[in-house]
């Protein structure tokens, strides 16, 4: 299993947008991402550092593997 780096919420949003997700709205310090054909919405906190477990959960909920996410992160 690949290791996830410690990244900010903005960096995570940028990677998910490359993967086809779009920002539907923002409520306070959280951005809500949606993707056509997916039943899950991602609520990404706009923190300076995301916890690795939290990020892993977002990747799992998006239906991607860790390796796929890392390719979009570059």
Q: And the tokens for 32?
A: 């809500």
Residue 25 resides in a domain: yes
Residue 43 resides in a domain: yes
Give the count of alpha carbons within 13 A of 37, CB side only: 3
Q: How far apart are CA 74 and CA 72, in angstroms?
A: 5
- Domain extent at residue 58: 9-73
Alpha helices in the chain (DSSP H): 9-18, 52-62, 66-73
Domain count, the chain: 1
The pLDDT tens digits for 1-49 are 579 999 999 999 999 999 999 999 999 999 999 999 999 999 999 999 9
Residue 59 resides in a domain: yes
Residue 58 resides in a domain: yes
Provide the pLDDT for residue 12.
98
Residue 4 resides in a domain: no
């Amino acid at each position: 299993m690949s290791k996830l780096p410690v990244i900010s919420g903005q960096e995570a949003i940028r990677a998910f947008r490359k993967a086809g997700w779009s920002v539907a709205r923002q409520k306070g310090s959280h951005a809500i991402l949606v993707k056509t054909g997916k039943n899950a919405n991602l609520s990404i906190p706009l923190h300076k550092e995301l916890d690795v477990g939290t990020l892993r959960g977002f990747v799992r909920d998006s239906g991607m593997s860790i390796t796929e996410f890392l390719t979009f992160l570059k």
